[in-house]
Amino acid sequence: MNLHILHQTALAMVAPGKGLLAADESTGTIAKRFAKIGVENTEPNRRAYRDMLFTTPGFEQYTSGVILYEETLFQTSLAGEPFPKLLAAKGVIPGIKVDKGAKPLAGGGPEETVTEGLDGLRERLVKYQEAGARFAKWRAVITIGEGTPTDYAIRVNAHALARYAALCQEADITPIVEPEVLMDGDNTAETCERVTERVLSQVFRELYDQRVALEGMVLKPNMAVSGLKCPQQASVEEVAERTLRVLKRCVPAAVPGIAFLSGGQSDEDATAHLNAINQLAAAQGAPWRLTFSYGRALQHAAQVAWAGKNVEAGRMAHLHRARMNGLATQGKWSPALEKAA
């Protein structure tokens, strides 16, 4: 393990004013999104869509890295250049999603899952690094419900996250550790905060026990938001306060940066929450850089504008959202900027 390489990559991933584009949707997930815009889910269409994103002029000003799906890592652009090489030439770090998805947890509570993919991961990481990947991502999924999450589900997912992170660091690939507490339920933001604290506490306990170097990783957590079905939605200010409080309780200062996931938030909500968290973090002197690692919240507008044929409209929508989130990482975003655009 070369801690210097891991640390420098982590710092670059959370560079000021920049964040991560999560373009790592599985073939099944992107099929659902393409269906909504009337685009057939074929390899050429997936390649053309990601080419549109990655060739957006200027997006590298606000994008430090891109999380790729395995198929995309080995694809070439429409101009014939391997996607990792195209991104690296723009100063954007190529990364790779390495987990095999969440599967039902034997003995767990209702709808509880565990993420699989550790078998053969050491060998796959060698292949990914040779293709140009410098960081990786593994997502654990935690559900809030009646009697869930159980301590058992939290423990097994935290253990798998730490095993993955240790294997990545062994290969000099910087791991993104993503424990996502889902926002699909009817729970309050207070409940989300409480569950997130349980999850993050266990994750860092496992990372420590499995000798993962905290300086050489990036955390990708959820924000402390209300469930989508909750009748009382927390304000932007409340989300910022609860999110920052739980991070200060659980995340050691040795971690270089935190790149939030957007979950089921709307494009503008994800940006507004990130902006408020950064403003509060600056006022309180938080020790980590706080940025974004958004998938749908960065891509939705671009997908709709592109719709399989309008490349320039897709690029414009992508660049706008990337810029808005780049400003939010510095606490400089405002709703007026959305209206102006």
* Catalytic site positions: 178, 220
- From the number of C-beta atoms within 10 Å of its C-beta (0-12, 13-18, 19+), residue 43 rates as exposed
With CA atoms as reference, report the closest residue to 69 among 145, 6, 128, 143.
128
With CA atoms as reference, report the closest residue to 324 among 4, 59, 39.
59
H/E run at residue 19: strand 19-23
Distance CA 35, CA 57 (A): 27
What tokens appear for 317 in the block?
A: 């929508």
Alpha helices in the chain (DSSP H): 3-13, 27-36, 43-54, 70-73, 83-89, 121-131, 151-170, 189-209, 236-250, 267-284, 296-306, 311-328, 335-340
Strand, coil or helix: 301: helix
CB 98 within 8 A of CB 135: no
The DSSP code for 215 is G
What tokens appear for 37 in the block?
A: 């815009």
Strand, coil or helix: 123: helix
